[in-house]
Chains A and B, each alone.
Chain A
Amino acid sequence: DVVMTQSPLSLPVTLGQPASISCRSSQSLVNSDGNTYLHWFQQRPGQSPRRLIYKVSNRDSGVPDRFSGSGSGTDFTLRISRVEAEDVGVYYCMQGTHGPGTFGQGTKVEIK
């Protein structure tokens, strides 16, 4: 299975400041169809995961534009331009290029 490694695992941030989460895969996530199936999910306390970004950089409907995704190959990044209180939670990357789909360990974002 493809191993997804996130860093950091804990990210204390100041309100209004940027935050960045790294996700690395054990093999390239470029699919034979040319797409890269790397997705990002947010899980707020007590809630189900919610998808924020699909295929590296496509933001889901209703997701604030302060969230952005980038990367290629094996290295990917989720950025929050200005952290707000509602952004507290755990963020997961997931790859869907190589079956079975696999998740990263999660990065816990908290307010300093």
Chain B
Amino acid sequence: QVQLQESGPGLVKASETLSLTCTVSGYSITSGYYWGWVRQTPGKGLEWIGSVDHNGNTYYNPSLKSRVTISLDTSKNQFSLKVISVTAADTAVYYCARDGGHWEIDYWGQGTLVTVSS
């Protein structure tokens, strides 16, 4: 059974960097699929942030591309998200997810709330 679990600080100061890690169990991230991040806010709903494929190629939402980096850590079967220069608008529940391509997202993490404080 594939499982994903997000981890990272729940509070980040404005203008600093948000960093989250997703640990995957039950499947090797180098075997296939895309590994991505989705965030959810009351105002904007669900928003796809970006993803990385099993070869390390990255794909980002143009609206966030200038501030986002997603990468693999194959030794730990993890992938990570970094968002620089955060503002209050980046306060959200962040989900990691497995995507079979064309956003066929079949597994989600439980989500983690990140609050940006001023």
Contacts and interface: CB of A to CB of B under 8 A. Distances in A.
A54 B104 contact: yes
B40 to A, nearest CB: 8
A86 to B, nearest CB: 18
Contact of A96 (B46, B47, B61, B102): B102
B103 A37 contact: yes
Nearest to B105: A51
Given A48-B109, A99-B59, A100-B61, A39 B104 contact: yes
Contacts of B47: 103
Which applies to chain A's interface (DSSP): helix, strand, loop or mixed? loop
Interface string B77-118: 000000000000000000100000111111011110000000
A41 B109 CA distance: 14
Interface string A70-87: 000000000000000000
Interface string A27-70: 00001000101010100000011110011000010000000000
Contacts of B63: 1, 100
Given A92-B46, A99-B59, A48 B104 contact: no
Given A100-B63, A101-B103, A102-B48, 20 more contacts: A1-B63, A35-B102, A37-B104, A39-B104, A48-B95, A48-B108, A48-B110, A48-B111, A49-B46, A49-B108, A54-B104, A54-B106, A92-B45, A96-B103, A97-B102, A100-B48, A101-B48, A101-B102, A103-B46, A105-B45
Interface of B: 45-48, 59, 61-63, 95, 101-106, 108-111
The 3 A-B pairs with the shortest beta carbon distances in the complex, nearest first, are A96-B103, A101-B103, A96-B102
17 contacts: A35-B102, A41-B105, A48-B95, A50-B108, A51-B104, A51-B106, A54-B106, A94-B46, A97-B102, A99-B59, A100-B48, A100-B63, A102-B48, A103-B46, A103-B47, A103-B48, A106-B46
